[in-house]
Amino acid sequence: MKIKKKDNENTALPISNNSLKPLIFSFFSGAGFLDLGFEEAGFSIGYVNEVHGPFVEAYKYSREQLNLPTPKYGIYEGDISDCLDGKESKRLAKLIKETKETGQIVGFIGGPPCPDFSVGGKNKGEHGDNGKLSKTYINLICKHKPDFFVFENVKGLYRTVRHREFFEGLKKELNDSGYQCTERLINSIEYGAPQDRERIILVGFLAKKSKLDFNKFDWFSETIYKEKEAFKFPWPQSQAIAKSRTMPKGIPPELTIKYWFDRNDVENHPNAHHQFKPRAGLAMFEVVDEGDDKKKSYKRLHRWRYSPTAAYGNNEVHIHPWLPRRISVAEALAIQSLPKEFVLPPTMSLTNMFKTIGNGVPYLAAIGVAQTIKNFLAADH
């Protein structure tokens, strides 16, 4: 899917009798994968907040390559707590007020850093440095009162008993502030991304802005495959490494690594040569079977299968299906279902490249979630 080129004009959109595109205020934006999905679905990006300098540069660079406009109110490079208190909070409140006065719908989107809730991460929960940011984001929503919000996080926040209590507390705070919420544990593969990636998505709407008939909020309206159905195809098992391999019958090619590598022309992509070189030589990459992804680290992808979760921290390494090396940045971007025109800056460190890719919401999943919200807003009269 190719990103549509957009200008700085607000074009007509039949949403809640509103002639203006809903304006998105994005937090924990990273390189902007979630933002791109919302833009593709017909929203405008108005404000961006990201604290990590290299991610801000990646956000700007990638949008320049895609010929996309600068966010209406710019990018604030600073801690999200600044948006809750102090000068930036006052500026943010003013921008939101001005936007609402034009009749535009205001939406907050964001996925706070999640290692403290991840099963394979630090598991410090709400008391960890990253875990505290989830509470800050919810406080930000309750203070500035966007018309709707999206909160994205790892499944550990939703499924782990000790973290679920914290999650329920966040929802209560939102309810007490006038929001009605709906949630679902989605899998990116449902939306056509070639990746088994579960994430909890919490969406909320201000009651005064909506009749909030959640019978009209259809979480499945934009899914291509139901999660369990996507895993029922006759996917190939681990096999000895081979330079070529015929695609098995009965599988959807658009969910495979090979399809996306070809689609994004990864060998000729500007980020094709951005890859970590093994210190211990090639030996470790020559003994792992294609499709052997059961270990925590050094998982070899299968060309005719989807990828495990694109998480490239905590020593997790994904190996190219048939070549004796780690996957490149271009290949990782393809696994995140981004269009081939999306490029990270060549000056960015490999660590930051893979970190921002692994943190991002797969592009097709982002579009699906955004379109689901758009459908609900359009139906909400």
pLDDT tens digits for 292-338? 998 888 899 999 999 999 988 667 889 999 999 999 999 999 999 99
Of the candidates 139, 150, 219, 145, which has an alpha carbon nearest to the alpha carbon of residue 185?
219
Q: For the residues of 278-323, what is the DSSP string, one character each?
A: PTT-SGGGSSSPBT---SSSSEEP-TTSPBSP----TT--EE-SSS
3-state secondary structure (DSSP) of residue 195: strand
How many domains does the chain divide into? Answer: 1
Q: Is 262 inside any structural domain?
A: no
**Domain-located, residue 304:** no
Instruction: Using the structure block, give the residue that is written with the tokens 């966010």.
Output: 71
Q: 194 with 337: CB under 8 angstroms?
A: yes
Residue 181 is among the residues annotated as catalytic for this protein: no
Total-model pTM? 0.90
In a domain, 106, yes or no: yes
- Write the pLDDT tens digit of every residue in 4-13: 444 333 332 3
Range of the domain at 35: 23-226+362-379
Query: In one letter, which amino acid is 123?
Result: N
Instruction: Answer yes or no: is 60 within a domain.
Output: yes
Q: Give the pLDDT confidence score for residue 171 in this predicted structure.
A: 92
For residues 238 and 364, what is the distance between their CA atoms, to the nearest angstrom? 27
**Which token pair is 303?**
């060309």
CATH number at residue 87: 3.40.50.150
What contacts 82, CB < 8 A, 6 or more positions away? Answer: 76, 88, 89
Compute φ and ψ for 177, nearest 5 degrees: -95, 10
The rounded distance, in Å, linking the Cα atoms of 34 and 375 is 17
Q: How far apart are CA 76 and CA 84, in angstroms?
A: 13
User: What pLDDT score does 163 carry?
Assistant: 75
Strands (E) across the chain are located at: 23-27, 44-49, 75-76, 106-110, 148-154, 179-187, 198-206, 299-300, 318-319
Q: What's the distance, Cα to Cα, between the start and end of the chain in Å? A: 31
Strands of the 179-187 sheet, one edge to the other: 75-76, 44-49, 23-27, 106-110, 148-154, 198-206, 179-187
**Is 104 part of a structural domain of the chain?**
yes
The answer as to whether 311 is a domain residue is no
The closest alpha carbon to 361, from 107, 151, 139, 68, belongs to 151
Q: What pLDDT does 208 receive?
A: 66
Look at residue 101 and tell me if it is in a domain: yes
Instruction: Mark the ranges of the chain whose per-residue pLDDT is less than 50.
Output: 1-2, 4-18, 115-117, 125-128, 381
pLDDT, position 229: 94
**Do the domain assignments include residue 164?**
yes
How many whole angstroms from its chain centre is CA 114?
Answer: 12
Which pLDDT belongs to residue 101?
Answer: 95
User: Counting beta carbons within 10 angstroms of the beta carbon of residue 172, is it exposed (0 to 12), middle (13 to 18) or buried (19 or more)?
Assistant: exposed
Amino acid making up residue 309: T
